[in-house]
Amino acid sequence: MKPFSLLGLVASFAGVCSANFDLYIQIATFYNGPDFSQVQRQWAIYESDPSCGQAVDQPWYYDSEDVSGATGVRCSGSGCDPTGAASDITELEMNLGFGNDVWHWTIYKDRPRGQNGGYLMYGLDGNTYGECIVFPGDSWTCDQEAFLILNGARKFRCLTQYTVSDIQG
């Protein structure tokens, strides 16, 4: 193979393989004594399948009906439940910014797809910042904390130039 054609092949994969993060839905059940528990839907991003220690320690985002002015994730469609198929999610808005950082994207099932067949990540400015492919398969339960049981299910792998470290500092 000629050197220039090999360089072109490598360059063509650079945008696809630059970084990624996996998006999980989590159900956190908090126990505060024998007569009280609280169940909370959360979302979290990981570089890969998390251990229980990582799942418990990782920052998470509230499941919300409106994330335009606050961090969180807004999800529409029957796939938003932990047991639902990610392909049944019709719209998912992620506002993952902390402080002055803006990490705010929305994916839409009914819009054009990315080069890998995923849902394009639209920023607030209308530009695309990667794509999220349906990526089920990893789910877990962590009950190593006496007051918390955490159940998680992966929904998407988002292929973008941004990493978990970029987003969460």
| Residue 27 · residue 47 · CB < 8 Å | no
* E strands present in the chain: 20-31, 37-46, 61-62, 72-77, 89-95, 104-108, 119-123, 128-134, 139-145, 148-159
For the chain, helix (H) and strand (E) counts, in that order, are 3, 10
| Residue 92 · residue 107 · CB < 8 Å | yes
pLDDT in tens, the chain (169 residues): 444 333 333 333 344 445 799 999 999 998 887 777 889 999 999 999 999 999 989 999 999 999 988 899 999 999 999 999 999 999 999 999 866 667 999 999 999 999 999 999 999 999 999 999 999 988 999 987 678 899 999 999 999 999 999 998 7
